[in-house]
Structure 1
Amino acid sequence: MYQKLIILSFLFLTACSTYQEKNITYQKVLFSNNCNDTFLKEQMQELNQNKDVIFVGLNSGYIARDCMKFKLSNEFFDKVEHSYKYDVDLQSFSTKSTQFIGKTLINDTISDYEGSWYERTMVNVYKGLNFMSLKDFENARVEFNRALMRQEKAKEYFENEIKQQIEQAKKNENYKQNIKENLQVIEKQYNHLFDDFNAQKNYTNPYVTYISSVFFFMDKDYKKAYDLLKEVYIIFNKNEEIDKEFKIFEKYSNSLTPSKLKKYIFIVYENGLSPSLDSFDLTLPFIFENKVVNTSISFPTLKKRNASFEYLKAKNLNDDFKKTQNLFNFDQVVASEFQATLTPKIIKALLSGAIKTGINLTIAKNDSSGVLNLASNIFTILTTKSDLRFWNFLPKNAQIIMLENDGFIEIYNDNNMEIFHQDLDKNKNILILIRSFSKEFPARIYKMEH
């Protein structure tokens, strides 16, 4: 009976340790597009009870946005931002150290999800787009400014915080004995991954800068729009589409009467899904009391997901069809941050494996009944899992094209099937955002004008 209770306790402790089932649930809800009010209410209740606010809020907020419930979407995202501010950014060093110890002994899922930096900037982008759909350009401006500010903070984080995490891990007494050589072995396992994703040491997302520049252009702040697009132009100066838009923005910025200039349609196509998280196990040698003990350790990895349509094509009344240009690669953005944060994650997993193995060996020596030894081994197996929480719904890439607004637009996919057509107010600049997760699901259309 005692033995069964111990086993049941450990099963209860770690039943949802990877969160993979919840990832699948979120994906099913989004793709079904049934916009179930009950589901969203349940998710909001979880947030109100402070249950893993960032993970739940990111995914639920996006589902609400997909249902065109922009106000509710921002209520979810507001709670995420509040959690970033008070539960993540303001954590004391002692709190972080305590969490590091707890996560090392068990796994990362004993603490609430803290999110990635590329996710943080996109929270503000989608809040800004939600406000644009609500015709609240004043609050949209606040959100796009916050998104740009978070980009700058991300640079500081990767320059300082990760180095501190690694140094903290190296202080552990097991580091030299059991970590250093295994670390080199594991890092080789990831080399092909980063080649495949074209990961680069660049922690900013040019899509955030681009979409912000479009907002400021539509909000008639042409100088700021031009300055922001200049940052994108520096990266993509050989691209014809960016070059064309940059010249238009420059013209508006220098004009004394911009209200008399032509109006434009900005088409943004968010295509497919960015990488998901998966895991793999490696059996590695650890040395205890001059004996080699092999232990299985779990490590996170990225898994590519599919694109939707290769491109879209659009035309106004007077021009021929023009294809969208694929510029902003979220796969690369995700992989770059994953690569930057990988070493501390590996060290933590190795330390966890070393500590648990040491505990198991100690218990085995001193437990004549075998009950505690069995329980300890079960605990190790169940808690040796990677944390697979992430924001499920960011795009694989973002594509753009700009057309003159002559009062009409029609948009087709790469199979010549119509996605959207509409008469437009040719006295306004207009943003049309098309979101397609997969060819099998209808594209979502968001039209914003000002």
Structure 2
Amino acid sequence: MKKWLLIPLFSLSLTGCAFNSIFINYPSQIAPVKAQINSNDPIKGADEVADNISGADGLLYAQEAGRVAQIAGDFEASKAYYQQAVAAYLEFDDKATLSASELGATASSLFINDNVIPYRGPGYERVMLHQYQALNYLLSGDKEGALVEVRRSNNLQSSEQRRYQKSNESVQAIANGTIDAEVNKLGKAAGSTTSSFLNAYSYYITGVLHEILGEPNDAFIDYRKAAQIAPNNPYVQKDLVRLAKQLSMPQADEFEKRWGKAAKPKKGEGEVIMLVERGFVDEKQSLTVPFRVHGSWQTASLATYPFNSRPVAKGQIRGLDKRLTAAPIANIDALAITALKEELPAALVRQAARAYAKAEMARSVRSESKARNNETDFGSIAMQIFNVVTEQADRRSWLTLPKQAQIARTYVNQGQYSVQLDNSAPASIEVKSGRTTLVWVIDTGNYTRFYTIII
């Protein structure tokens, strides 16, 4: 048994990882950070994860640290953390071959679990990374820098989908009714979301920036993409009507007939655009399925998502000339579920290889035990315990993302307003005639934070 155990242990030594997610599930590690976000000093949460950025899961921790700093309103610190995550993604992109440590991690995953493999992040996380970096630039007063980031975000939505379609091949891995049923449940839980790479929230923010910077044609294109993904959002519909009329588009009359006339600003009015983010994205759960290989019991542990997730209430915005009801633009839960579903073929291949590798280890131990005429097969028992203990689902994901993004948009008279989201503490915003006040509202449960900029 010792010689078999040396294989994964030696491979682990090549990865240089900190064992964090290998035996302790990631949601448990990030729970204190999310609790810190719901305090009056959220920036401490960034400090808690920043120390792990140098490890094998550094990309994930950089994303978490950047998001925590951003929620705390420290946009410069958030920029720096996000840039580290961007650099990590680019490093993965530039590698033509796997390094020795990555080869070791992949080998170790055959004997331990998928948490050994360095975290690379699904496509939707990478898209949102650039989207959030754009908001950092915007709220720091750099509109051009923000536009560069949202363009990168939009380009990634196309390139990531092409990469997935090219690499995803139909595979036959573990034939198991429980796993098949879980895959079907994931599809139902994702609802109408058919791709994890297409994010209406990202397209909408791009459209807003294009419009504010005097590029209405580009704004129309992005609003239309957002409408294709989130067709029932009334604010996106009215944006399309307004710009189609402004640009004398051939679709203008058709849009107006479908969605009604769009409001126009009156003299002395300014525009208010609300970006509302609510809650935290769901955590992955573990699905463990027992089965027999070569006469010994093995377990397959795969990540899944809960199917009883609570719906998100539409935000009620008070304090303007009239009450506004925010409308959903993106369900981040659905993007995460769809991403997991897209990753399952490759995960099942690794799972099948791991199950048989562990079964071979167990069979070898049993053979050695029989050769020594051991009455009690302690080696085989220990091997099966080792297999069960090490078989942990990969539950890593960016957990400080919101559960849902909502938007609202209106014109109001210039002046000072005290606005609230539902029953939150009020925040003061200013509206100037002929200008746009962008209000970013982050509701994490116990706290609601407002960040504004007049453009």
Q: TM-score range by the shorter chain?
A: 0.7 to 0.9
Aligned pairs, number: 419
| Structure-to-structure mapping, 1:291-370, within 5 angstroms | 292-303=295-306, 306=310, 309-314=313-318, 316-317=320-321, 320-367=322-369, 368=372
- 1:54/1:342 CA distance change after superposition, 3 Å: same
SS at match of 2:272: strand
Asked if 1:232 corresponds to 2:226, the answer is yes
SS at match of 1:84: helix
CA deviation map 1:228-248 (0-9, x unaligned): 112223445554322212223
SS at match of 1:245: helix
* Equivalent of residue 72 in structure 2, options 50, 67, 77: 67
Q: How many Å separate the matches in 1 of 2:19 and 2:84?
A: 26
SS at match of 1:446: strand
* Equivalent of residue 52 in structure 1, options 35, 57, 74: 57
SS at match of 1:430: strand
- 1:83/1:63 CA distance change after superposition, 3 Å: same
* Equivalent of residue 149 in structure 2, options 132, 135, 143: 143
Q: How many Å separate the matches in 2 of 1:113 and 1:94?
A: 14
- 1:297/1:239 CA distance change after superposition, 3 Å: closer
**Equivalent position of 1:128 in the other structure:** 134
Contact 2:106 2:117 in 1 (8 A): no
Give 1:63 shift: 0.8
**Equivalent position of 1:402 in the other structure:** 409
Farther-moved stretch of structure 1 (187-196 vs 417-426): 417-426
| Gapped regions of structure 2 (runs ≥ 5) | 13-17, 250-263
| Structure-to-structure mapping, 1:32-181, within 5 angstroms | 32-36=39-43, 40-41=46-47, 43-47=49-53, 49-86=54-91, 88-92=92-96, 100-163=106-169, 179-181=173-175
* Residue identity in the other structure for 1:156: R
Q: How many Å separate the matches in 2 of 1:24 and 1:434?
A: 22
Query: What is the CA RMSD across the aligned residues, in angstroms?
Result: 3.3
Give 1:146 shift: 0.8
CA deviation map 1:186-223 (0-9, x unaligned): 12233234323316422311111111111222222222
Q: How many Å separate the matches in 2 of 1:428 and 1:13?
A: 51
Farther-moved stretch of structure 1 (61-70 vs 200-209): 200-209
**Equivalent position of 2:261 in the other structure:** none
Asked if 1:220 corresponds to 2:220, the answer is no
- 1:314/1:128 CA distance change after superposition, 3 Å: same
* Residue identity in the other structure for 2:296: V
**Equivalent position of 2:419 in the other structure:** 411
Q: How many Å separate the matches in 2 of 1:111 and 1:20?
A: 17
Give 1:69 shift: 0.7
SS at match of 1:46: coil
* Residue identity in the other structure for 2:188: D
Q: How many Å separate the matches in 2 of 1:13 and 1:231?
A: 42
Q: How many Å separate the matches in 1 of 2:48 and 2:33?
A: 13
Normalised by the length of structure 2, the TM-score is 0.82
Asked if 1:207 corresponds to 2:201, the answer is yes
| Gapped regions of structure 1 (runs ≥ 5) | 171-178
**Equivalent position of 2:397 in the other structure:** 390
CA deviation map 1:347-403 (0-9, x unaligned): 322321221022111112114476754653443233200111111122222211111
Normalised by the length of structure 1, the TM-score is 0.82
* Equivalent of residue 194 in structure 1, options 187, 191, 195: 187
Contact 1:199 1:339 in 2 (8 A): no
Give 1:253 shift: 4.7
Identical-pair percentage: 18
Contact 1:213 1:224 in 2 (8 A): yes
Give 1:252 shift: 5.0
Give 1:133 shift: 0.9
Contact 1:273 1:305 in 2 (8 A): no
Contact 1:315 1:322 in 2 (8 A): no
Give 1:284 shift: 1.4
* Residue identity in the other structure for 1:78: Q
SS at match of 2:239: helix
Give 1:57 shift: 0.6
SS at match of 1:341: helix
Contact 2:234 2:327 in 1 (8 A): no
Q: How many Å separate the matches in 2 of 1:374 and 1:83?
A: 41
Asked if 1:376 corresponds to 2:376, the answer is no
SS at match of 2:273: strand
CA deviation map 1:137-175 (0-9, x unaligned): 121111111111110112112201222xx66xx6xxxxx
- 1:18/1:239 CA distance change after superposition, 3 Å: closer
* Residue identity in the other structure for 1:383: T
Give 1:44 shift: 3.6
Q: How many Å separate the matches in 2 of 1:419 and 1:22?
A: 33
SS at match of 2:214: coil
Contact 1:122 1:147 in 2 (8 A): yes
* Equivalent of residue 240 in structure 2, options 232, 246, 251: 246
Q: How many Å separate the matches in 2 of 1:307 and 1:181?
A: 33
Contact 2:316 2:323 in 1 (8 A): no
* Residue identity in the other structure for 2:419: I
Q: How many Å separate the matches in 2 of 1:401 and 1:351?
A: 49
Q: How many Å separate the matches in 2 of 1:312 and 1:161?
A: 43
